[in-house]
Structure 1
Amino acid sequence: MGRRLVMLALAGAGVAAVAGAVLFVPGEQGSQAAGAVPRTPAPEDPLTSQEVARATAIASAGSRAHMAAGRIELLYVERDDDKDAPVRRRADAYLYDYGTDRLIVRTVDLGRGRVVRETVTRGVQPPPSTAAETTAAELLLAHRQYGKGVRDAFAKAGGGRLGSAAELGLRGLIFTPTGEDGPARRCGVHRCLRLFVRLPDGTWLDTSRIVVDLSAKKIHTLEW
């Protein structure tokens, strides 16, 4: 099924807690045994890879141009657990619009093949996707000071010349400001990450004062 998503607490009204998460990742999440008859999933079953792909296509149909331009990111797709429709297979697709800093959740009825509900909120920041972590790392590498520091640390840790962000071990957490006076105070409205970088020798780079603002495409340094 791929990496499980652990939902963090979501701030803001009108967003319900969700369960049965399935990450949207490229490729198959499983396969049927040769010659086996596919079983119809029960309402409580996790989404199949085919259902994730179908929900993705339906939910993103009206946003593909913005997605291609990098303005909108599909974060993940998960099973919808709305008790008002217990016998229907439905999926929730979470998209983030960096142009307006809005979280868009589109509920797809997989049987009918259409979006049946859409909610839009601001100030709500679900956990970062793998794509968001990679984008944050690319912004970090593009920074004149920090980029050089990452490359030097990578080489000293036995990794040689760093070719791309894909060579780094990455883990991101959403950053929410707590009284910052500098540019990082925009985080919470903007989508910002604390990025943890693992080096080839297993050590972690000290990035504790660095915040990556994905909305503004900037790096902020925390002061303390």
Structure 2
Amino acid sequence: MLREPGAPLSTAERGYAISLALTSLTSSTRNVLDEPGAEVLATDLPAPSERDGRRRAQVSAYDYRDDRLHQFLVDLPTGTVIAEESLTGIQPPPSVAETQVALDLALTAMPAPAFVDQFRELTGLPLLTGDEVRVIGGAWTPHSHDGTAPDPPSSGAAGACGTERCVQLLVALPSGQYLSTEDLVVNLSRRTVTLLPTGAQSRG
């Protein structure tokens, strides 16, 4: 059953909207696990101007096949996608699955990022799985070291961030103590980990 037009989306409504949005995409789209269907990033009520007194939802999903963000406006009573926009260079915050994949890549990177060695120093044990830490992910794009203007594009995986899907991590011990993660960015589009110079961070 649908709620009133201005009420928060229910779990069932979110699932229905996501299903309608992903079904409208071609079968070649891929999520972060390289499975069919784009990676769902957000599902919420659209802006009041787009509701038109109707029960509608806005779905954002990222296609890893061609590094595009798809935004859908779904009319729930009729079960139709009434508007879709395909964008490049837009990087919303990562999903839970994207954050987990980024952490898994960081844990196996060579050379190891600083937080892996720091975990061993603080606990006396190697950091083997993501279950041993708490993690938050943020979208990452390059910027100038003083924060006033963008850097010129650099080469490699980190230089492609912004048009490709990149994540920076906040990693903490179960106690809440944060580990040092300022030195790395994970390019999920390429499945690579790049160590960064000090001051090059930009979290979305």
Instruction: Please indicate the TM-score interval, normalised by the length of the shorter structure.
Output: 0.7 to 0.9
Distance (whole Å) between structure 1 residues aligned to residue 191 and residue 3 of structure 2: 41
Determine the structure 1 residue equivalent to 2:10. Answer: 48
SS of 2:42's partner is strand
Alpha-carbon distance in structure 1 between the residues aligned to 2:179 and 2:81? 43
Partner Cα separation in structure 2 for residue 146 and residue 201 of structure 1:
22
String of CA shifts for 1:131-177, please: whole Å, max 9, x gaps: 11111101101213326x65554455449564532432111222111
Picking from 152, 164, 178, the partner of 1:204 is 178
TM-score (norm 2): 0.79
CA RMSD of aligned residues (A): 2.5
Q: Given the superposition, is the C-alpha separation of residues 64 and 134 from structure 1 closer, same or farther in structure 2, using an over 3 Å criterion?
A: farther
**Corresponding residue to 1:214 among 181, 188, 201:** 188
Q: Aligned partners of 2:35 and 2:172: how far apart in 1?
A: 26
Amino acid at match of 2:5: P
Letter in 2 for 1:177: P
Q: Does structure 2 retain, via aligned residues, the 8 Å contact 1:140–1:219?
A: yes
> What does residue 201 of structure 2 align with?
none
Is residue 2:131 matched to residue 1:169?
Answer: no
Unaligned runs of 5+ in 2: 144-150, 199-204
How far residue 97 of structure 1 moved from its aligned partner, in angstroms, is 1.1
Please report the TM-score for the alignment, with normalisation by the length of structure 1. Answer: 0.72
- Structure 1 unaligned segments of length 5 or more: list them: 1-37
Percent identity between the two aligned chains: 32
- What does 1:1-224 correspond to in 2, within 5 Å? 41-61=3-23, 62=25, 66-67=30-31, 69-70=34-35, 72-146=38-112, 150-158=115-123, 162-178=127-143, 179=151, 181-183=154-156, 184-224=158-198
Q: What's the CA shift for 1:123?
A: 0.4
Q: Give the count of matched residue pairs.
A: 185
C-alpha contact 1:43 1:86 (8 A) present in aligned 2: no
Say if 1:104 and 1:120, in contact at 8 Å, map to a contact too: yes
Provide closer, same or farther for how the CA distance between residues 77 and 159 of structure 1 changes in structure 2, counting only shifts above 3 A.
farther
CA contact (8 A) 2:115 2:181 kept: no
- Helix, strand or coil for the counterpart of 1:55? helix
Aligned to 1:13: none
